[in-house]
Amino acid sequence: MEYIKSDKSGECIFCDLRPELDRDHLVLHRGQHVFVLLNRYPYSAGHLLVAPYAHGACLEELELEVRSDLMARIADGARVLKHAYRCDGLNIGANVGTASGAGYPDHLHFHIVPRWSGDTNFMTVVGETSVIPQHVERIFDELVAGFQELSAS
């Protein structure tokens, strides 16, 4: 609920992320055209956001190489989450446009949400509760190591 009520006016949150502040902004990995970060307001532990550096509201506004890198980083995020958290499944998707529920409709980004059999599903959204058993900074440390391993291979 904190996110929903927060002020979202001003600069684009995805365009404003300077590399020297990656840890503060929870950026886990930077690729050629795309970066991966932890969602500060997650639905579950490890909820990732994958966004291009290019400011665009939808896929068709992005160049082919950016779209290709976007899909590759989404696959990397899925791989890291499956390895780190042994999740049973993933929700992967984007809300394009305000009618779809996009909180930041002007900068396309994908969500990767780890899921476990019997988890709380939509409880965190509707019930204004947090069921995340780990602190976001500890999750960051675990997942950044996973992306570093992927980059090294």
Could you list the active site residues? 109
23 SS3 class: coil
What's the DSSP call for residue 20? Answer: G
Rounded-to-integer distance, Cα 51 and Cα 27, Å:
11
User: CB-based burial of residue 143 (10 Å sphere; 0-12 exposed, 13-18 middle, 19+ buried)?
Assistant: buried
- Sign, CA dihedral 44-101-98-10, equals negative
Give the CA distances from residue 146 to residues 32, 59, 99, 107, in Å, rounded to whole numbers and listed in that order: 18, 27, 35, 26
- Sign, CA dihedral 25-96-150-35, equals negative
